[in-house]
Amino acid sequence: MSVSIVSLNIEGNKHFELFLPFLKAQTPDIVCLQELLKQDIPRVEQELGAKCFFVPMLKKTEDPESAQGIGIFSSHQFVNTSSAYYGGTRELKVVDNTNIDTRAVTQSFSLSLCDIDVRGTVYRVGSTHFPWTPDGSASEFQRTSLKNLLSILREQGDIVFCGDFNAPRGQEIFTAISKEFKDNVPPEYTSSLDPVLHRAAPLHLMVDGLFSTPGYKVTDVKMVGGLSDHCALVGKIEKAS
C-alpha cells in the first residue's frame, strides 16, 4: 500500500489561491509545507480537512501569530510528533534580515518529525527548511548545520524526509545528503524554483528534495509548478518489502 505526499515551500501567505485548490484536488495523505505562518494554520486545516503539526523557525514581528515555520498536515492519525534542533537559535526570535549572518542566527533550524498511521501502517516523515545562502554556495554555517542534521537523521531509523534545502543538487550540501539517503527526485528535473513566480526567476537550481532510507520506496515523483515561488514535489511512499 502506498500513500501520497506533497512537499512545497508556500512563501508565507502569498499564494493561497494557487496551492490550496491544487492540494484540495490532489487530496494527498501527507502535506509538508515550508514557510507556513502560524496564523494561517486553521485555514489550511479547514480547507484540507486535516490536522497540522507545526514547528516555528522565526517570527516576522513580536506578534506570536507571525511565527513562520514547518507544517506537516494529515487527515490521518499522528501517532508521535517531535522536532530536532540542528542550528541557529534555540529561542524563537524576530528574524534579523540585515545580512546573511544575522538572518541565520535569528532563525531556529529543526527537523520536524511525525509518525502517521495511514490505514493501519505507520509512516515516519520528516520535513525541514535548511539555511540559505544568496548564491547557493556552501557556507560554514550550512556545513555545521548539515553535520548536526545528518547526525539526527542517522538516529531516526527508516524515514522519508523532504523540504527546501536551499542548496543546489550537484553541489556540496545536497551531494552530502544524497550520499547517505536516496534522492528520489528524477534527474530530468533541474530546477525546483518556479520560472515565473520566484522573485529572481529564472533560476536553474534544484534545491528542494525528497529523500528516503532503504526501508521505504518512493515512486511516481513529479514536480508541479505554478503554485508558489517553489515547485511542489509530489510522490508516493510505501514500506519496502
Percentage of the chain lying above the pLDDT 90 cut: 91
Q: For residue 236, what is the enclosing H or E element?
A: strand 232-239
Domain residue limits, the chain: 3-239
Q: Three-class SS of residue 174? A: helix
Distance of CA 61 to the CA centre of its chain: 22
Per-residue confidence at 203, pLDDT binned at 50, 70, 90?
confident
Q: What is the pLDDT of residues 138-189, one digit of tens each?
A: 999 999 999 999 999 999 999 999 999 999 999 999 999 999 999 999 999 9
How many other CB atoms sit within 10 Å of the CB of residue 199? 9
Distance in angstroms (rounded) separating the CA atoms of residues 203 and 196: 10
Q: Residue 14's Cα: distance from chain center in Å?
A: 17
> In angstroms, rounded to a whole number, what is the distance separating the alpha carbons of residues 130 and 221?
21
Average pLDDT, the chain: 96
At 177 the three-state DSSP class reads helix
Nearest to 120 by CA among 74, 73, 75, 76: 76
Domain 3-239: CATH architecture, name and number where available: 4-Layer Sandwich (3.60)
Check residue 186 and give its pLDDT.
Answer: 98
Q: Whats the size of the chain, residue-wise? A: 241
pLDDT digits (tens, 9 = 90+) for 76-96: 999 999 999 999 999 999 999
pLDDT tens sequence across 12-41: 999 999 999 999 999 999 999 999 999 999
Residue 79 CA to residue 124 CA, distance in Å, equals 10
pLDDT of residue 66: 86
Report which residue type is found at 144: T
